[in-house]
Amino acid sequence: MVLALVCCGIGLWTGCGAVETIESTIFVLIAVFILILLPITWLCSRRPWLRNLRLHRPPPFSDPQLGQLRFSFGIDTCLWRGSIALLPGKSIPLAVAGNADGPDSTALDLAKDLLLQLPSWRANIEKALFGHYEPYAEAITSGELKHDGDPLPAISTASDVWPLISWVYAVVIPLGGDLVTELGLTVPWDEEHILGLRFENGELVELNGSVVQP
């Protein structure tokens, strides 16, 4: 509307007739639509991150359970960042998928359920980490793998891994089209990597041996 009024004003000011002014205005509007608005609309449909661009960062999102979450723009996935205490008195970074309008409601629910689900995941977590530990211990003992720093802890049963876990982060993000809860952690037998425990539909689906904190 503003552009049309500007075009009409310029046309009348330059002495063009009413018909010529209207024709020029229509031409300009069509050109702007084809050359600018149509490509932007197409890009937005193909690149959802464009819809999350804002001149100003959205205000913090407050949740009664998770506290304040702050928006973090991303090309592939926008995140709302806060913290969560997996252990009493010790909080780690939390990130929940969403867009500039707010966290994804399903991802937010999964983040809220994390502390409730963790005890039921315990057996699978310790089994996966013990399976990760055994080849490292064998390789270090045989001299095939060099281990610097403190001596490798002796772990005889899967439950022995728990005192050795250092939680790094928790995220709920889409991977492969589905929302996945990922817990990042470090362990003393693999000091060079952050491990990622990935859960989907309440089940442990993968222990990734090397992840990057989102």
Per-residue confidence band for 166, with pLDDT thresholds at 50, 70 and 90: very high
Instruction: Report the C-alpha gap between 141 and 129 in whole angstroms.
Output: 18
Whether 85 maps to a domain, the answer reads: yes
**For residue 3, what pLDDT is reported?**
40
Mean pLDDT of 172-184: 92
Instruction: Report the C-alpha gap between 48 and 77 in whole angstroms.
Output: 9
Whether 54 maps to a domain, the answer reads: no
Whether 52 maps to a domain, the answer reads: no
Same-domain status, 79 and 158: yes
Burial (CB < 10 A; 0-12, 13-18, 19+), residue 171, is buried
Same-domain status, 195 and 94: yes
Whether 214 maps to a domain, the answer reads: no
Position 10: which residue type?
I
Q: How many domains does the chain have?
A: 2
Same-domain status, 81 and 146: yes
Same-domain status, 33 and 7: yes
Q: Which residue from 208, 197, 175 is spatially nearest to 121, judged by alpha carbons?
A: 197
Domain region containing 37 = 2-46
Same-domain status, 33 and 129: no
Instruction: Report the C-alpha gap between 174 and 50 in whole angstroms.
Output: 18
Cα–Cα distances in Å, from 56 out to 60, 61, 72, 77, 88? 12, 15, 12, 18, 35
Same-domain status, 136 and 178: yes
Same-domain status, 96 and 159: yes
Kindly report, residue by residue over 74-107, the tens digit of the pLDDT.
Answer: 766 789 999 999 887 789 999 999 988 899 999 9
Same-domain status, 187 and 104: yes
Same-domain status, 78 and 103: yes
SS3 at position 93: strand
Same-domain status, 70 and 159: yes
Same-domain status, 38 and 102: no
For strands 166-175 and 90-99, give the pairing. parallel
As a whole-number percent, the residues of the chain with pLDDT over 70 amount to: 71
Torsion angle of the four alpha carbons 5, 10, 11, 14, in this order, in degrees rounded to the nearest 10? 160
Residue given tokens 């449909």 in the structure block = 45
SS3 at position 119: helix
Whether 40 maps to a domain, the answer reads: yes
Q: How far is it between the farthest Cα atoms of the chain?
A: 93
Full-prediction pTM beyond 0.85? no
